[in-house]
Structure 1
Amino acid sequence: MPPRKKRKSAPALTVVSAPDHISALPDSMLHHVLSFLPVQAAVRTCVLARRWRHLWRSTTGLRIVGLDDKKHLRNFMHHLLVLRERTDLDTVEIKLGVFVEEDQTHVNLWTRFAVMCSARALTLHVSGPLRLYLDDLPLVSRHLRTLDLHDVDLPKSFIDFAGCPALEGLKMNLCSVSVGRISSCSLRHLSITGCHFGLGRRVIVSAPGLVSLILKLVGSSDTKTPCLESMASLETARVYLGLNCADVCLNYDDSGHFCGANDKACNNCVPIKDDGSGDAVLLGGISSATHLELRSLPRKFIFARDLKHCPTFNKLKSLLLNEYWCEAPGLDPLLCILKNSPVLEKLTLQLFLMGQNNKLHLKGSYKSMERPSAISRHLNIVEVKCDVVEERIYEVIKLLCAALNIRFIFE
């Protein structure tokens, strides 16, 4: 029997360690990368290597996120604020789950720490049965550029933005505002959704440099529509007067008549001389916009009241309206705003939508070269979006065809 051949031994494996490209980055870049992590995760990177031991102390941002163990988060933040270097911050994001009474003092402390560290972007989001009540102290920062607030109770001193000359973006969602005036010369982007204004009168919004505006009165807490002062630089505005809007005509009927048409003003529709609204509440302030979206539930009298003093929309090119503008006899509100929009190019009507998707899309075109002399000669696109062509839709389309000399086709 021939002798067995000896097997050749396998070559020894050579362990090659991949180069640590991340650790090779400069400190400034690693500080920026760590700012995207929750603060707990950012601190835990100190065990990776000697190189990472102290990087967390100088991150350019803080993401304070607490959903479960709030007591642990409060203790953690107490030590972090003591040990962290006093370097400037770009962003501070505080997002808590169910907000409780014990969180009040701590969140106010973290907020003031953010301002002290020259944060450029500050986010405060809480949820639960309680709102975050901020200390009634002035907000003073020459560095703050954006402020994002959710479910926050805002006292008068905090929302006085005279001490924030660089503030450009402000978002307020489900906040309670105890102030008669919101004023900022630097503000360019403003979003107010579902907020409650608790002084019983119209809040005046003065932001002459505003470029974009979102105003949505939604929710279940009644509040009066804010009065908008002139915004000469405005480009885009989206306004929705929903359930949260307390400006309801008590004499409104199914024919689309408000108190002004019946000469019997209800208690809500009676003009209030000291409400700061002058001739118009909304339309006068946003008349310089290029793109407008104006929607309202029935019975809300603000737009109907403003139309009596309808301004001229000299820059308006695209306009989106809902069925509110088509419910009055003869489409009077719709035709009024069209006659005051001399350069309008596109009109979109979203009528009686039940869901999020538009099932039907009708596009209008002029029957001939002639069009009503009072309507913009630039108006080339008229769209109707709806769920089904029911009787209400059919009546609106028929009136549009007669008033604008157009015909519709399905797309």
Structure 2
Amino acid sequence: MPPRKRRKSAAPVSVADRIGDLPDSILHHMLSFLPAQAAVQTCVLAQRWRHLWRSTMGLRIVSLDDEEPFEFQRLRKFVDHLLVLRERTDLDTVEIELGEPLDDDSQPYVNLWVRFAVMCKVRVLNLESYDSSLCLDDLPLVSRHLRTLDLVGVTLQETFLDFSSCPALQDLNMDSCSIRAGNISSRSLKNLSINGCWSILDSRIRVSTPGLVSLEIVDFLCRTPFLENMLLLETAYVGLGEDCEDVCLSYDSGVFCGANTNACENCVPIEEDCSSDCVVLGGISSAKHLKLLSESRKFVFARDLKHCPTFSKLKTLLLNEYWCKAPDLNPLACILKNSPVLEKLTLQLFSKGPNHRVEMKGHYCSMERPPAISEHLNIVEVKCNVVDERILKVLKFLSAFNICFSF
């Protein structure tokens, strides 16, 4: 028997670096999503990766140790070397997230990192610190490229919040920030969100953003900011929470002392230098979509209604029980009377949502539309958990306008 031929062994399969074969621009973009420490470590993967981290499109400076106490000095040394070795390419995004309180000696380094980001023409800048321990320098932010600024747990001072030297800034988000300034001003800003922030000043913060399209102010812990006219405003959500200091000292079952007398030192007067008698409603009167929520004892909306402006463009309106607690429901009647093109009204009564046990939809019982409210109003919703005397009172009020409800 002839000897059997030996089979040729299969050629070894080469493991291709498919990710490494991608163009530099895509790899730079991918590395931008990694913390800076992890992005630098990719240099050991292969020759192809050795220098990619030096020219990423984004920079994330974050604390990585979840179990051990965060050591800022270690992070500082790493970032110092990183900024020296990194190529001077432009940055799309910079994120600085600090998980432990900063001491006074550490503040200048973080402020220096922020200035470095601005020098690299950053477009999106995110800053987050623990318990508002990061205090940004009281220096102007000067950038022709910055479009989005997200601030979480940061202490902000007067000059920094003057964005006149940031002509491209469109989005400003402030969450749990301490504000040491009397003004927030920007002519270019389109979207502004202030959530859970507070001021250390006795006077109201003045918000001057004439080009604003979208506004959200929720749970401001001190005196409600004074809003200047926003003629281009599309949507606004203002929620006055429990910690708002604008509390009527003589509030009684939906009646504020400032509505009739000057008995309460909190309700009146507002600041003498205000150009309007309204704190909030005058500034947002041009909006097309409004969501206005308030705790019972807060007087701002009720006081503004004394000088109630006309909401000439308002199409959708969402209100809570604050507007329906007065014996005559005058706050609700006033805002409906001054909304001539309103199309949809939603009343979210004694129910936080988003799920409500009872939802009722209203419709006109006759073709005749009462002149006291908008002839365009075709959707009326009442959302609550139970239909009790308080809800029946509102339904009776709306029935006077020929609006009937079905469950």
| Alignment TM-score > 0.5, same fold | yes
* Structure 1 residue 238 corresponds to structure 2 residue 241: no
How far the C-alpha of 1:307 sits from its partner, in A, is 0.8
Whichever residue aligns with residue 182 of structure 1, its letter is I
Gaps of 5+ in 2: none
Alpha-carbon contact 1:295-1:321 (below 8 Å) kept: yes
Larger deviation: 366-375 or 354-363?
Answer: 354-363
Query: Structure 2: which amino acid aligns with 1:51?
Result: R
Structure 1: gaps spanning 5 or more residues = none
Q: Report deviation, 1:99.
A: 2.4
Secondary structure at the aligned position of 1:333 is classed as helix
- For 1:261 and 1:188, locate their aligned partners in 2 and report how far apart those are by CA, in whole Å: 34
Alignment-derived partner of residue 57 in structure 1: 54
Q: Following TM superposition, by how much is the alpha carbon of 1:330 offset from its aligned partner in structure 2, in angstroms?
A: 2.2
State the shift of 1:36 in Å.
Answer: 1.1
Which residue is 1:116 aligned to? 119
Partner secondary structure for residue 395 of structure 2: helix
| Alpha-carbon shift at residue 355 of structure 1 (Å) | 5.3
| Equivalent in the alignment of 1:144 | 146
**Are the counterparts in 1 of residues 28 and 55 from structure 2 also a CA contact under 8 Å?**
yes
Asked if structure 2 preserves the Cα contact closer than 8 Å seen for 1:67 and 1:96, the reply is: no
C-alpha change, 1:273 and 1:43, in structure 2 (3 Å) is: closer
In structure 2, what is the Cα distance between the partners aligned to 1:261 and 1:100? 46
Structure 1 equivalent of residue 190 of structure 2: 188
- CA change 1:224–1:14 in 2 (3 A) is same
Counterparts of 1:335 and 1:364, CA distance in 2: 17
The answer to whether the Cα contact below 8 Å between 1:67 and 1:98 also exists between their aligned partners in 2 is no
Letter in 1 for 2:134: L
Change beyond 3 A, Cα 1:378–1:10: farther
| Corresponding position of 2:38 | 41
**Which residue in 2 is equivalent to 1:131?**
133
Sequence identity percentage: 64
TM-score normalized by the length of structure 1: 0.92
Partner in structure 1 of residue 329 of structure 2: 331
Q: Distance in 2 between matches of 1:67 and 1:313?
A: 49
Partner of 1:224: 223
SS in 1 for 2:91: coil
- CA-based RMSD of the aligned residues comes to 2.1
Asked if the contact 1:321–1:348 (Cα under 8 Å) also holds between the matched residues in 2, the reply is: yes
SS in 1 for 2:270: coil
Cα distance in 2 between the residues matched to 1:354 and 1:52: 51
Q: CA deviation at 1:371?
A: 2.3
Q: How far did 1:156 drift?
A: 1.2
Partner of 1:401: 399
What TM-score comes out, normalization by structure 2 length? 0.93
Q: Distance in 2 between matches of 1:23 and 1:217?
A: 48
Deviation beyond 4 Å, 4+ runs, structure 1: 6-11
Read off the aligned partner of 1:336 and give its amino acid letter. Answer: C
Take 1:35 and 1:27, find their aligned partners in 2: how far apart are those partners? 12
Looking at structure 2, the residues matched to 346 and 138 of structure 1 have their Cα atoms a distance apart, in angstroms, of 43
Distance in 1 between the 2:204 and 2:82 partners?
A: 42
Matched positions, count:
401
What displacement does 1:396 show?
A: 1.8
1: CA distance, partners of 2:6 / 2:404: 87
Work out whether 1:84 is the aligned partner of 2:83. no
Any conservation in 1 of the 2:151–2:173 contact (CA below 8 Å)? yes
The CA distance in 1 between the partners of 2:265 and 2:229, in whole Å, is 28
TM-superposition CA deviations, 1:55-103 (whole Å, max 9, x none):
1001111011215343432221121111111111110011122223154
Any conservation in 2 of the 1:176–1:195 contact (CA below 8 Å)? yes
Cα pair 1:296 1:322 within 8 Å, conserved: yes
- Do the aligned partners of 1:234 and 1:289 also contact (CA within 8 Å) in 2? yes
